[in-house]
Chains A and B, each alone.
Chain A
Amino acid sequence: MATLVIAEHDNKTLKDATAKVVTAAGQVGGPVHILVAGQGCDAVAQAASKIAGVEKVLVADDALYAKMVAETMETLILSLADKYDAILAPATTNGKNYMPRVAAKLDVPQVSEILSVVSSDTFVRPIYAGNALATVQAPAGKKVITVRTTTFKPAGEGGSAAIEKVSAAADPGLSKFVGEELSKSERPELTSAKIIISGGRGMQSGENFHMLDAIADKLHAAVGASRAAVDAGFVPNDYQVGQTGKVVAPDLYIAVGISGAIQHLAGMKDSKVIAAINKDEEAPIFQVADYGLVADLFKAIPEMNEELTKLGYK
């Protein structure tokens, strides 16, 4: 049988996370199909059909799926589940929301946030905020899996999968989408940015985060934050990098005024290169940083901005 990947998208663009889950799905086995559930999501289906290694793209285009509300996603995925040995979704807030409902209804345990596929039924996943790694074997039967996308490379392009429409499943009529406040930013998203500059409690105010914006613009970086900075109200919750926020693995992570609590390290320690700026030379962040600068960030950040200009970054 086949493996089904649930696409992550916003009805306009297919998110990078989907191609990464396709990579994991290919390792689990069987032909890989993608389900695009949305409303007016043709462009997403087209993009999904181009991912290498995908055999078929199923599209459920209905107002019910416009915001991927969990209760409607559950009945849709269940209506298709019979044909699949394994169902995979990215461990985004969407995937985390609907997938356990699917697993419960199929009466199978879910394997959450896998980091790697050992074999078709065995996976490695983080526990204790990534301070330990568990290798778990799922029982015979259907596999329901969410994938931590930072550890899988996206499948390439070059596919030409058939696109097939599927009908909407019954509306459970339990919930409805009311509204959303999404952060608007011209910068790359945290989870797919190649460079991230994050601020911590040391930033002292939301105003001061603009100093990081200037550098982010020059480096085409995303701006993140520690939990302390979010809890203090400096920046919105979706900036948070850490075990309970976003888990990221960019090429370069610049931690500014971040002490390096376990919770934060769990969200960024897989970054290729870590640079840290902190005035406290004992800060735990320096134990994981490739490059550490002990300095007052209020001097260092403006200086960095100037130096970057000198180096030709605009």
Chain B
Amino acid sequence: MKVLVPVKRVIDYNVKVRVKPDQTGVDLANVKMSMNPFDEISVEEAVRLKEKGKATEVIAVSIGPQQASETLRTALAMGADRGILVKTDGEVEPLAVAKILKAICDAEQPTLVITGKQAIDDDSNQTGQMLAALLGWPQGTFAHKLELGDGSAQIEREIDGGLQTVEVKLPAVMTVDLRLNEPRYASLPNIMKAKKKPIDEKSPSDYGVDVTPRLKTLKVTEPEKRKAGVKVKTVAELLDKLKNEAGVI
């Protein structure tokens, strides 16, 4: 079975984002970019399926600027077999991403799509679910554990009250949560090997998808900052302040 892994290039999670003074967005100039951390977990899961002999091919897809090919190379260095870069500049909304991925799924016929539960830039948490709906496939979101069966999969999910297990028919979409696995670091030989793996370059129009954003961003602002308060010296003083000054206990 083929596994498709969509990966997104985002501002590295260690970078402190700065809102542009003109309120048009977040400053992306000269900022370190990396693969969305949740997507790293998806790549890892897909590669492990291949190593266990359950997947025959792992295809990584990225939708973004030319530099998103670096994100694909990371996925290839981790063990994906080939990449598809759908080149587009500017922001692409989850629905448009899902439409492009649907067209790719129609062509590639994967049995499983594994992707991050959300991207850490727009924090939408939509793409996997939208893709599943457009394909008419089931989904296992916020996955904690995956067990592949015959024609179906059991997915343990992180939910508000604890964990939930669902059984989905294959093909299916799985979106991954933090604790599914710990992604590997690519070794130097694998990074070298990844350079020779093929990346197909496409454009959204190849898939007949209009990626013009439909939500209009009117402004991007900084949230109100909290100020540091006072330091107290003892537990008794802390409780006294909480009780008599703040009135919260």
- Is there an interface contact between A252 and B168, defined as CB atoms closer than 8 Å? no
The residue of chain A having its C-beta at the shortest distance from the C-beta of B137 within the complex is: A174
User: Cβ of A308: which chain B residues have Cβ within 8 Å of it?
Assistant: 239
A122 and B141 alpha carbons, distance in the complex (Å): 28
A129 to B216, CA, bound (A): 20
B226 to chain A, nearest CB (A): 4
- Which residues of A from 220 to 274 have beta carbons under 8 Å from B? 227, 230-231, 236-238, 243-244, 246, 251-252, 262, 269, 272-274
Q: How many residues of A contact B (CB 8 A)?
A: 91
Bound complex: CA A129 to CA B38 (Å): 14
Cβ contact within 8 Å between B221 and A293: no
Expressed in whole angstroms, the minimum distance between the Cβ of B61 and any Cβ of chain A is 18
Taking the complex as formed, is A134 at the interface, i.e. its CB lies under 8 A from any CB of chain B?
yes
14 sample A-B contacts, Cβ–Cβ < 8 Å, listed by A number: A93-B159, A97-B139, A104-B133, A127-B122, A174-B136, A175-B139, A175-B140, A180-B163, A180-B165, A227-B178, A231-B178, A237-B162, A252-B246, A292-B231
**Chain B 101-124 interface residues, beta-carbon cutoff 8 Å to A:** 117-118, 120-124
Contact A127–B220 (Cβ < 8 Å): yes
Stretch with Cβ within 8 A of B (4 or more), from A22-30, A46-54, A67-75? A67-75
Contact with B along A97-110 (1 / 0, CB 8 A): 11111111101111
Distance in angstroms between the alpha carbons of A176 and B169 in the assembled complex? 9
- Alpha-carbon gap, A227 to B137, bound state (A): 31
Q: Could you tell me the distance between the alpha carbons of A180 and B157 in the complex, rounded to whole angstroms?
A: 9
One of B1-9, B44-52, B90-98, B189-197 contacting the partner: B90-98
- B98:A104 contact, CB within 8 angstroms: yes
B183 on the A face (CB < 8 A): no
Q: Which residue, of B157, B161, B226, has the highest number of chain A Cβ atoms within 10 A?
A: B161
Question: Quick check: A128 and B246 within 8 Å, CB to CB?
Answer: no
Q: Are B246 and A273 in contact (CB under 8 A)?
A: yes
Q: Which residues of A contact B221 (CB under 8 A)?
A: 132-133, 135
Assess whether A303 is interfacial by the CB under 8 Å rule. Answer: yes
Q: Identify which of B133, B162, B163, B233 contacts A74 (C-beta below 8 A).
A: B133
- Binding stretch for chain B, among A156-164, A198-206, A283-291: A283-291
Give chain B interface residues in 16-31, CB to chain A under 8 Å.
Answer: 16-17, 19, 26
Contact B162 A131 (CB under 8 A): no
Pairwise interchain contact B123-A113, C-beta atoms closer than 8 A: yes
A92–chain B nearest beta-carbon distance, Å: 5
**B134 CB contacts on chain A under 8 angstroms:** 104-105
Task: Scan B123-159; emit 1 where CB is below 8 A from any A CB, else 0.
Answer: 1111111111110111111101000000000100111
Could you mark each residue 113-132 of chain A with 1 if its beta carbon is under 8 Å from any beta carbon of chain B, else 0?
10000000010001111111
Q: Which residue of the partner chain B has the closest CB to A287?
A: B228
Measured in the bound complex, the distance between the Cα atoms of B157 and A67 in whole Å is 13
A residues in contact (CB < 8 Å) with B: 67, 69-71, 74, 92-94, 96-105, 107-113, 122, 126-139, 172-183, 191, 195, 219, 227, 230-231, 236-238, 243-244, 246, 251-252, 262, 269, 272-275, 277, 281, 286-295, 300, 303-304, 307-308, 311, 313
Q: Is B11 an interface residue (CB 8 A)?
A: yes
| A131–B234 CA distance with the chains assembled, in angstroms | 32
Within 8 A of A (CB), among B183-226: 214-223, 226
A227 to B158, alpha carbons, bound, how many Å? 13
Report A-chain residues with C-beta under 8 Å of the C-beta of B218: 122, 135-137
A122 to chain B: which residues have CB within 8 Å? 218
B residues whose Cβ falls under 8 Å from a Cβ of A: 11, 16-17, 19, 26, 93-95, 98, 117-118, 120-134, 136-142, 144, 154, 157-169, 172, 177-179, 214-223, 226, 228-236, 238-239, 241-243, 246, 248-249
Q: Which residue of B lies closest to A250 (CB)?
A: B248
Known pairs A103-B130, A303-B235; A133 contacts B139 (CB<8 A): no
Which chain B positions have C-beta within 8 A of A96?
125, 129, 141-142
Q: Which residues of B contact A295 (CB under 8 A)?
A: 235
Known contacts A70-B141, A137-B215; is A128 also within 8 Å of B26 by CB? yes
Residue of B123, B136, B137 near A126 (CB, 8 A) is: B123
Q: Within the complex, which residue of A98, A182, A195, A307 is in contact with B161, where a contact is CB–CB below 8 Å?
A: A182
Which residues on A sit within 8 Å (CB–CB) of B26? 127-128, 132
Given the contacts A103-B95, A292-B231, A183 and B162 also touching, CB distance less than 8 Å: yes
A288/B228 contact (C-beta < 8 A), A128-B26, A131-B16, A136-B218 known: yes
Known: A97-B139, A180-B164. 16 other contacts (CB 8 A): A93-B157, A93-B160, A109-B215, A127-B121, A137-B216, A138-B214, A174-B137, A180-B162, A183-B161, A195-B249, A238-B162, A246-B160, A291-B229, A292-B228, A292-B231, A293-B232
Contacts of A304 in B (CB 8 A): 235, 238-239
A81 to B239, CA, bound (A): 51
Cβ contact within 8 Å between A132 and B17: yes
Contacts of A177 in B (CB 8 A): 164-166
A112/B123 in contact, CB under 8 A: yes
